[in-house]
Amino acid sequence: MLTAFLIGLFSALHCVGMCGSIIGSLTLSLKPEIRQQQSLLILYALFYSIGRIISYMLAGLLVGTLGQSIDHLFNLTEGLDILRIAAALLIIFLGLHIGGWFPQLAKIEQLGIPLWNRIKPYAQRLLPVSSLTQTLVFGMIWGWIPCGLVYSVLPLALASGSPIDAMLTMAAFGAGTLLPVTTTGILSGSVMTLRRIPHIQAAGGILLIMMGIWSLLLEL
């Protein structure tokens, strides 16, 4: 879960362009009296991200349940070890991607486009949002937007060994993205400034690569 949290933390800076445009649209759609009150604006942005994290947790629960069902059906005694090795390799590739050295990983976002095209109209119907409930639901729909990093963390959740652990792994990933993505809609200039500092992304990428190599050595 620590690994998932760190992936979320550094990938949030890497993908703040996409996330920032979405939460920026939400912020602009709010009533002026909400935007003018900093406390209310923070609350709406927080509910937005909580909804997104709920969707991540649901995805983790689904893949964890699927993995457990396959394991029980075929009695794959070595399957979990193989998944953990694959997850360690994936962490290394994620580190390369977040560091800016392997942009091809983003191509897996195309896998989620058909699903997103089906649910996107429901999100658009909620704009402009006028309540915290609408904001939460909008965030839950936003959580299914095609994102290569989210898809890449799901195998890590699958390797955790149980549906609950998989759900908690995705929750940790979402928690890592919470602060940067939430503040994007409030302090967009500051967040974009951080995004333009290459050393931050490089440091995050190197850290994940080291963690992936360490995990791989433990499994081998």
Predicted pLDDT of residue 69: 75
Domain span at residue 122?
A: 2-219
| Rounded-to-integer distance, Cα 24 and Cα 101, Å | 28
Tens place of pLDDT per residue across the chain (220 aa): 888 888 887 776 666 656 666 776 677 777 888 777 878 888 888 898 899 999 999 999 999 998 777 666 655 556 667 777 888 888 888 888 777 787 777 677 788 888 888 998 888 888 788 889 998 999 899 889 888 778 888 888 888 878 999 999 999 999 988 877 776 655 554 455 555 555 767 777 888 888 889 888 877 6
Predicted pLDDT of residue 18: 60
What is the number of residues in the chain? 220
Predicted pLDDT of residue 58: 96
Number of domains in the chain: 1
From the number of C-beta atoms within 10 Å of its C-beta (0-12, 13-18, 19+), residue 199 rates as exposed
**176 and 1 Cβ atoms separated by less than 8 Å:** no
DSSP secondary structure letter of residue 103: G
The structure tokens listed for 63 are 């893949």
Residue in 98, 85, 100 with CA at minimum distance from that of residue 6:
98
